[in-house]
Amino acid sequence: MRDVLLTGKACEAVRRKGPDGRLLYDAVVMDAPPTGRVSRFLNINTEVAGLARFGPIFTQSQAVMRVIRSPETLVHLVTLLEEMPVQETVDGVTELRAAGLPVGGVFVNMVRPPVLDEAAVLAAEGDHTEELALALADAGVGTRPGRGGTRRTVPAATRKLVGPLLAQGREHAARVLLEREQRADVQALKLPMYELPLLGGGVDLGGLYRLAAALKEQGAA
Amino acid sequence: MSSTTAKKAGQAAAGQAASGQAASGQATALRDPLAARQLDVDALIDDPETAIVVCCGSGGVGKTTTAAALGLRAAERGRKVVVLTIDPARRLAQSMGLTELDNTPRVVKGVNGSGELQAMMLDMKRTFDEVVLAHADPERARQIMENPFYQSLSSGFAGTQEYMAMEKLGQLQAEGSWDLIVVDTPPSRSALDFLDAPNRLGSFLDGKLIRILMAPAKVGGRSAMKFLNVGMNMFTGVLGKVLGANVLQDVSTFVTAMDSMFGGFRERADRTYRLLQAPGTAFLVVAAPERDALREAAYFVDRLETDRMPLAGLVLNRVHSTGAPQLTAERALAAAETLESPDQDDPPASPSASTPSATASTTPSTAPATPPSTPETISAETEVLAAGLLRLHAERMQRIVRERRMRDRFVSIYPDVPVVEVPALAGDVHDLDGLREIGERLNNRH
């Protein structure tokens, strides 16, 4: 019932006119249930129409279906660069196409910035421990500020950090590899693809504006 | 225990994201996490009194994986286990042999130890059909199963999946072939759906609306249609106009055929509900250190207390940690910036740049413990590496601080709920080895 009401409300918003008689909204964006259930969610009106073959509910369902299947509607998929979300996205696209629903683009969310990836991959290859320790000490890591200048020795506190930092780099490298595979799977769908950066501090209003700007830059909106 | 209002405020606090706090300049130094009771998972699954373990929580927190990992571990520790999954990821399902679609448990191959593991994936439509077939004679059953209203209902009206999961649990328990049943619950935004939806569906099927529709058909054997047209029942008259006469016809036919099952749906849901309250049942609330997941977990903990259902503890998945907690995000970022900015005043890091007279007079033995091959310069490549590792570390520290804040809020509101933190894995779990790894992590003391 709730699904019928939601899709109905979205379609009503699409057709709503302002006081000047023109369509009130340029675009109506609706959040939908997780990918596994999306074609069910959008097709619910077909079922209701199937059940109620006459009467106002039938008419309503028909109207909703017309909007959902029109060229002005697109179903976008949001995913992460992780195995299960990408798998569900691929399955979701197949399902949508089979149901005759219009597929838009794929939005890859929470993408980490590339600069870290190079470092991570470097860390995974070769052994840079000594040089690294020196570089860290030089930059003031594990040392007291004010005692800068050149160093020939590395304080113990700095040295202790090298192992864990490298280990984190290697973990990240493994993740980067996985992400590359996932990206390839998404690209294979041959749909428009957009990327949204990971907001490190969580999502707040400022973050939302940043994401919106990123989307605009990529031509998504 | 705090009062209800205080608790609600606390719940809201538990749900608040740490967004903006990094921006407000709070240092990300790691303090010790709030002490919490440790959940002993092995003790729970080893205990012969534990007969049912239900894994609940909102979707996307690793419930299915946790349930499967628990089942495997219990089996490898000697118990006879069945795991009921709802929506497993494809590869995991394949490795557990869950792709058979006959709605009965099958033996999982590759299990070590003295116990036994069977597993199944819930097929809600089939389960609904099973209920119908069990209670109606073959002719009525056929009528029901061919009815369009029933077909729509059984393939996924809201609540059907939850109802059928409960129903299946009841069936498995009645069968008595296993001494431990591990139940995964359907993924949904609200963790409470698992408890609420079956009753809603049961009430609907047994409820007033349907009885109203039933009534005309009973009286003198006349069909519901006649009464609709005559308008003897005002309510159904109006309904007929709004829904369309054929909907009511379908529902009415459905209802007539289901006649012998009336009361049955609610009753079955109630019976399974009581099973959940019985000794031998343990609930595990699964969450991740994120706002929404912990808010749902909090609601669930409260609800279990209200319904007198036994909560074993909280499984907190996907927790991050670091081998360098003493380095704050701020220091790491500052150092990264230093490495990334071009040298302005400092000469390159080379021994020949330091005071010549000093080097002339020092002997190798007076130099404090330097390793034999101290590089003379730090290559640009290494600086890039160092900066990158520092930024990675800063990001991780920020994440850990956020996660810990979420966790501590929960623990401060529910100090009596045992908790186990499960470290984040690099990738998804695809197979039994991955499940074993999770099982190990569920039982490591930190």
Residues B330 and B271 in one domain: no
| Domains along chain A with CATH numbers | 2-114+190-217 (3.40.50.300), 116-169 (no CATH)
Residues B188 and B295 in one domain: yes
pLDDT digits (tens, 9 = 90+) for B412-431: 999 999 999 999 887 788 89
d(CA B15, CA B393): 26
Contacts of A165 in chain B (CB under 8 A): 324, 389-390, 392-393
B21 in a domain, yes or no?
no
Q: Which of B125-129, B276-280, B326-330 has the least mean pLDDT?
A: B125-129
User: Closest approach of chain B CAs to the CA of A147, in angstroms?
Assistant: 13
B331 in contact with A, Cβ within 8 Å: yes
Q: What is the pLDDT of residue A213?
A: 93
Rama region for B310: left / alpha / beta (φ>0; ψ in -120 to 50; rest): beta
Q: What is the pLDDT of residue B360?
A: 41
Q: What is the pLDDT of residue B302?
A: 93
Q: What is the pLDDT of residue B333?
A: 94
Residues B403 and B291 in one domain: no
CB distance A153–B368 less than 8 Å?
yes
User: Closest approach of chain A CAs to the CA of B425, in angstroms?
Assistant: 10
pLDDT digits (tens, 9 = 90+) for B102-136: 788 999 999 999 999 999 998 888 888 887 787 77
For residue B368, is pLDDT > 50? no
Residues B436 and B396 in one domain: no
Overall domain count for chain B: 2
B393 in contact with A, Cβ within 8 Å: yes
Cα–Cα–Cα angle for A20, A22, A28, nearest 5°? 130
Tokens of A1: 């019932």
Comparing B440 with A72, the larger pLDDT belongs to B440
User: Closest approach of chain A CAs to the CA of B18, in angstroms?
Assistant: 7
Residues B217 and B334 in one domain: no
For residue B20, is pLDDT > 70? no
Task: Tell me whether strands B281-287 and B311-319 are parallel, antiparallel or unpaired.
Answer: parallel
CA A195, A200, A205, A210 dihedral sign is negative
Contacts of A207 in chain B (CB under 8 A): 19
B356 in a domain, yes or no?
no
User: Closest approach of chain A CAs to the CA of B335, in angstroms?
Assistant: 5
pLDDT digits (tens, 9 = 90+) for A128-147: 788 888 889 888 888 776 65
Q: What is the pLDDT of residue B361?
A: 41
B391 in a domain, yes or no?
yes
* DSSP letter (8 states) at residue A17: B
For residue A86, is pLDDT > 60? yes
B94 in contact with A, Cβ within 8 Å: no
The average pLDDT across A194-201 equals 84
CB distance A116–B378 less than 8 Å?
no
Residues B189 and B78 in one domain: yes
**DSSP annotation string for B265-276:** HHHHHHHHHHHH
Q: What is the pLDDT of residue A49?
A: 56
CB-nearest partner of B388 from A58, A82, A119 = A119
Q: What is the pLDDT of residue B24?
A: 42
Comparing A35 with A14, the larger pLDDT belongs to A14
- Alpha-helix runs per DSSP H in chain A: 2-15, 38-51, 55-68, 83-98, 114-124, 129-138, 156-187, 205-217
Residues B329 and B251 in one domain: no
CB-nearest partner of A172 from B20, B381, B392 = B392
CB-nearest partner of A116 from B187, B392, B398 = B392
The average pLDDT across A74-96 equals 89
Contacts of A203 in chain B (CB under 8 A): 17, 19
pLDDT grade, residue A120 (50/70/90)? low
Contacts of A52 in chain B (CB under 8 A): 243-244, 246-247
The average pLDDT across B139-151 equals 74
pLDDT digits (tens, 9 = 90+) for A153-180: 788 889 899 989 988 888 888 888 888 8
A187-192: Cβ within 8 A, 24+ apart: A189/A89, A189/A90, A189/A93, A189/A106, A191/A93, A191/A103, A191/A104, A191/A105, A191/A106, A192/A104, A192/A105, A192/A106, A192/A220
Q: Which of A141, A160, A203, A211 to mutate to test the interface with B (most CBs of B within 10 A)?
A: A141
pLDDT grade, residue B287 (50/70/90)? very high
Residues B410 and B428 in one domain: no
Closest residue in chain A to residue B351, using alpha carbons only:
A152
% of chain B with per-residue pLDDT over 70: 67
B201 in a domain, yes or no?
yes
B181 in a domain, yes or no?
yes
Tokens of B134: 């069990």
Q: What is the pLDDT of residue B321?
A: 92
d(CA A121, CA A119): 5
Contacts of B383 in chain A (CB under 8 A): 135
For residue B18, is pLDDT > 60? no
The domain in which residue B407 lies consists of 324-339+381-420
Residues B307 and B398 in one domain: no
The average pLDDT across B149-170 equals 75
Q: What is the pLDDT of residue B370?
A: 43
% of chain B with per-residue pLDDT over 90: 36
* Average pLDDT for chain B: 76
CA A179 to chain centre: 13
For residue A121, is pLDDT > 70? no
**DSSP annotation string for B216-248:** HHHGGG--HHHHHHHTSSHHHHHHHHHH-HHHH
Half-sphere exposure of B387 (CA within 13 A, CB side): 17
Q: Which of A20-29, B149-158, B390-399 has the least mean pLDDT?
A: B149-158
Q: What is the pLDDT of residue B195?
A: 78
The average pLDDT across B370-389 equals 71
The average pLDDT across B282-287 equals 95
B227 in a domain, yes or no?
yes
Tokens of B259: 């006649």
B427 in contact with A, Cβ within 8 Å: yes
Q: Radius of gyration over alpha carbons of chain A, in Å?
A: 25
Q: What is the pLDDT of residue B263?
A: 58
Q: What is the pLDDT of residue B206?
A: 65
Q: What is the pLDDT of residue A66?
A: 78
B134 in a domain, yes or no?
yes
B209 in contact with A, Cβ within 8 Å: no
ipTM value, please give it: 0.76
Comparing A98 with A191, the larger pLDDT belongs to A191
d(CA B79, CA B178): 8
DSSP-derived 3-state class of residue B54: strand
Contacts of B148 in chain A (CB under 8 A): 50-51
The average pLDDT across B313-342 equals 93
DSSP-derived 3-state class of residue B37: coil
Residues B252 and B396 in one domain: no
CB-nearest partner of B428 from A83, A130, A134 = A83
Residues B404 and B268 in one domain: no
CATH of the domain at B305: 3.40.50.300
Produce one character per residue of B326-350: b if its CB has 16 or more CB atoms within 10 Å, e if not.
ebbbebbbbbbebbbeeeeeeeebe
CB distance A149–B346 less than 8 Å?
yes
pLDDT grade, residue B28 (50/70/90)? low
CA B164 to chain centre: 18
Contacts of A139 in chain B (CB under 8 A): 335-336, 338-339, 386-387, 390
pLDDT grade, residue A54 (50/70/90)? low
For residue B281, is pLDDT > 90? yes
pLDDT grade, residue B376 (50/70/90)? low
d(CA B17, CA B29): 18
Half-sphere exposure of A178 (CA within 13 A, CB side): 19
pLDDT grade, residue B373 (50/70/90)? very low
d(CA B137, CA B171): 20
Q: What is the pLDDT of residue A2?
A: 60
**DSSP annotation string for B186-211:** ---S-TTHHHHHHHHHHHHHHSHHHH
Contacts of B91 in chain A (CB under 8 A): 83
The average pLDDT across A13-23 equals 87
CB-nearest partner of A136 from B347, B386, B398 = B386
Residues B275 and B329 in one domain: no
d(CA A118, CA A115): 6
